[in-house]
Homo-oligomer: A and B are copies of this chain.
Amino acid sequence: MFNEATFADDIAPASVPASAHVSGKAASSRPAQQCGSCSMRSACMPQALNAQELSRFDSIVSATRLIKRGDAIYRANDPFQSIYAIRAGSFKTVVMHRDGREQVTGFHLAGEVLGLDGVCTESHSSDAIAIEDSSVCIIPYALLESMCAESKSLQQQVLRMMSGEIVRESSLMMLLGTMSAEQRVAAFLLNLSSRMKARGYSAAEFNLRMTREEMGNFLGMKLETVSRMFSKFQREGLLQTHGKRIRIVNLDALGRV
C-alpha cells in the first residue's frame, strides 16, 4: 500500500498537521490541489504571487502525481514538458555516464522544483528518482512560460529559481573540487540539517532518506568512505548514527571540520 511520505518518523513541524496531507491512494495521478491551501506553499514556487496570480497559477498546475520509492518522474532524454514541485517526499537527481557511472547531482525535499534542466534542449539531461514514496505537482512548462509573460512576479520567481540552481551547483563543484572526504560529509550533513530546520523539523535529529551509496555518489566518494566518516565523527563525539537515523551532537564542530 502506498503511503504518502510525511516524515512521520521525524519531529513534525507545528505548521504541518498530519491532516494537511492527503491520505494515500494508489492512483498515480490525481486532480491538482490548491496551492493556497498547500502546506508547502511558503517554501514553494508561488510564494511571490498575489491572490489573483495564485488562482491563475493554480489553474495551470494540472495534477499531482504519486511516485513510489525508486520510480522516476522523468529520465534523461525524456522529452521536456513539465516541471515538478515536490509536495511531499524526497528525490535524487542523477546524471549518467555512458559507461554506467552515475553522479547524483542533488537531493531534493518538499517545496523544491525539479526538471529545469530540460528547458535548454527540450529534453531532460538527468533522472529524477524518488528516494521515498513521494508526491509532486505537475506544472506544464508551456503554460508556465505563457503566464510568465503576463506576471512579472512569476517571471522573476522562475528566473530566481533557475539562478538559485546555478548557485547551488557552483557550491557543489567547490565541494567536489576542493574538499576532503571528511569535509564533504560534514558539509552534506550541515546542509541537510539546515534544510530540515527550514521545513520545521529538528536541525539536530532526522532520518536520512538515501543510502550510503547514494550519498557517496553525490559526494564523489565510495559508500565505505561515507561510512568511515560517519564512524569517525561518532568517535569524535560530533554525531550519533544508527543506520539512517542521524543525531548531530556538535553542530559547530561539524562546521569547523
Query: Which of A's residues lie within 8 Å of B, judged by CB?
Result: 95, 97, 101-103, 105, 116-121, 125-126, 145, 148-149, 152, 155-156, 158-167, 169-174, 176-178, 217-220
Contacts and interface: CB of A to CB of B under 8 A. Distances in A.
A177 B220 contact: yes
A125 B174 CA distance: 12
Contacts of A117: 163, 166-167, 170
The A interface is mostly helix, strand or loop, or mixed, namely helix
B145 A159 contact: yes
A202 to B, nearest CB: 27
30 contacts: A95-B174, A97-B174, A101-B174, A103-B173, A103-B174, A105-B170, A116-B162, A116-B166, A117-B166, A118-B163, A119-B162, A120-B160, A120-B164, A120-B166, A145-B155, A145-B159, A148-B155, A158-B159, A159-B159, A159-B162, A162-B162, A162-B166, A165-B166, A166-B166, A169-B169, A172-B173, A173-B173, A176-B220, A177-B217, A177-B220
